[in-house]
Amino acid sequence: MGRAAEMLGVTPAFLRSLDTTRLIVPQRSAGGHRRYSRYQLRLAQRARDLVNQGTALDAACRIIILEDQLAEAQRINARLQRDRKSQDPSQDRA
């Protein structure tokens, strides 16, 4: 955790608070140490940025969750549009 906090320029307490809010739930080593994925570190960095801009931590976590859900919906939509286009050759002439 100390290394992750150092990399992000935050305190270990900040990372623990993200665990408490359930924004990121790191894996645990056999010794109980938190292990963060690159994706979790990106979320923590986004949370830090929002908090530094004056957003409350709970609100920052909600914003990040909504951003993640929107990105996933956009990926699904793009995939469905590609699938639809590949099944309907008349779409190519439009």
Mean pLDDT, residues 35-39: 94
Who has greater pLDDT, 30 or 91?
A: 30
Residue-level pLDDT at 93: 56
Q: The dihedral of CA 12, 18, 20, 22: what is its sign? A: negative
The pLDDT of residue 88 is: 78
Predicted local confidence at residue 19, as pLDDT: 92
Tell me which amino acid residue 29 is.
S
Strands (E), 1-94: 27-28, 34-35
CA distances from 87 to 13, 80, 82, 90 (A): 52, 11, 9, 9
pLDDT (average), residues 4-21: 94
Which residue has better confidence, 47 or 87?
47
Cα–Cα distance between 28 and 34 in angstroms, integer? 5
